[in-house]
Amino acid sequence: MAFELPALPYAHDALAALGMSKETLEYHHDLHHKAYVDNGNKLIAGTEWEAKSVEEIIKGTYCAGAVAQSGIFNNASQHWNHVQFWEMMGPGEDKKMPGDLEKALVEAFGSVAKFKDDFAAAGAGQFGSGWAWLVKDTDGALKITKTENGVNPLCFGQTALLGCDVWEHSYYIDFRNKRPAYLTNFLDKLVNWENVASRL
């Protein structure tokens, strides 16, 4: 099934006042994400994966323990990761966290503040490129994880509730090398908590 670059669910400048500039989204969505789509389509053409869904491709090509994943996996997973990432953010200064999500986070981590601290620490501690995630694990428990490069929760049978891209292209224009500041800003200003709650 051909990959398609989705339009952003908001204008390119909609997050600028919240710390993610129009320039970042033009580069990140229009160039980086598009490259994963274009390269992924070239790589799956004429293969057994051509008619499969992106989720099937990710699960079918992930190789646990591999030093490096295949090109098909990398592009498919990064396409999927970014589709989720755009939806997990949103404009608006006052984003309320739904009560059911707040309750679940308090039960799992002790407080929303502790969840944010632990999530930010996971993202800051991911060596090199990758992602920080809030997932619902196979046992139903909420957990914070981090993954390298394009690896994502689908590889482990988990449900992604929230993901933050910690590749430098996601934050370098706005935050330079200050990844911890980017993560704090993401959690405090950018996350669309309604979207996160809908994934529970």
Q: Which residues are annotated as a binding site for Mn(2+)?
A: 28, 82, 165, 169
H helices within the chain, ranges in order? 22-27, 34-44, 54-61, 71-87, 99-109, 112-125, 172-175, 179-185, 193-198
Q: Which residues are annotated as a binding site?
A: 28, 82, 165, 169
* Chain centroid to CA 166: 9
**Phi then psi for 143, rounded to 5 degrees?**
-140, 155
In sequence order, which residues have a C-beta less than 8 Å from that of residue 183 and are 6 or more positions away?
A: 119, 120, 123, 124, 132, 164, 166
